[in-house]
Structure 1
């Protein structure tokens, strides 16, 4: 497989064959789900509920790192957390078929949470606290950390090496990211040492599904080590929402309020990483179709302006 078109051979027939290889009986119904980093399908089964087949992007995570994700999900499920864990076939959760690595999991549908509801936010706060109680039991060995290298330096190099960034903006972009990096480092230094733990890592509203029974979490693909506040800030659209989240969180686990000062730094790191992620994946045909704005100079000009504004806030 080409690194530039890693899913060129991932046809519907190959997906069905991979599911069949686990001893299941697909009925031919396939529904592609919204995922760019990996490829995810809902697969209908004969006389059974559908499963979700997730095919991992080649070369992104090592097998050991993927297995840590699976083990964490299973540990959370065993602690009675509403988390979708992978299915086990022959003692294995990480499966291989025709050059692809994949996993199957049960289908759990739902709707987006209402982030205007204090009750739902408190509920989420309690569940995240319970998740963090499990996450603090041990550390990831293979999945890395939420740090400036992975979320600032590496994405910056990906942008500078790509054809997306207009050459006339190259130096301005570099200076903006370097300024952000200094400001982020200063903010972390000012806050001082914080406890790190195994996180969901990408706990935004799209990765929380709500049913009549309450919420459940999906997609631990970005799980890594980091501060607890990382799993909270993307669910809080304002101070009142954060207060509701922390109200629920504090009822189950202590929270270091000094971490709140990290939110502008974490938000800025996510902005830098987002642009670098698009640049690094641009050769995947799904990305130009999904993010056409990234091919326009004006988007990069606005991105540079946004980074300076973030640096102003941090400084």
Structure 2
């Protein structure tokens, strides 16, 4: 089987923790061919299939140059057995254009994971609103007056941009409402952009739990990303400490419900973020934490993912 990974530049990977790297490594271990490109390498010409300028790579796992490669070649996407979209946010216009090109490749016969249409239809923060039975009170708006009213009702709130990642742009405002107006103006760019506001969940002190859902089934271990010092953010990119732990019964029920709903829509891999028993985000672009969970628990998440990929393709 030949697999194409559409990802960020390989030269920027931190292979000791990178989830895409762990997918590649497991695929190569099974004898599958591994190729890579960036979204900017995708192209579509009149009368031709969607193509990409790809590099066929072999993982060596040594130092910064952890792979060898063949000369780049232009190849139709539908000639690969699977195309895995692993580009990190931001979920901007270029990302959306890439999903349209990948969608055309699907019509030409390519098998793309996660589904390009599903990526567009499930922006990671807004997607939680489909599952309001599992969410803390939440407001999506660009109206400063609505934000003030929400704060007056809930007293302790979190504000964040809809297109952020890794904890970027997350603010907590307590009962004193200190800087609420300034924070709102900064995030919504004086009313030009929509933001999300949620009631603060104090269980963040126990960790922002990343639950991985593969082919609709939750992985039995989670990574609790615990804020450090005075930080309110548990994100690893914001300095949080990642501690793997068994999936709780209550969180399993949430994950199973989300998986049953979303997996049939073409979302092979989902990263569910849960604080306490509240879903805060549903990550579908490039969910991470494979290596952290595997290293700490011995449960082989990359193996589970490639198993599911092969099953989706009808076996190897």
TM-score (normalised: structure 1): 0.27
TM-score (normalised: structure 2): 0.27
The higher relative CO (CA closer than 8 Å, separation ≥ 6) is in: 1
Pick the structure with more strand per residue.
Answer: 2
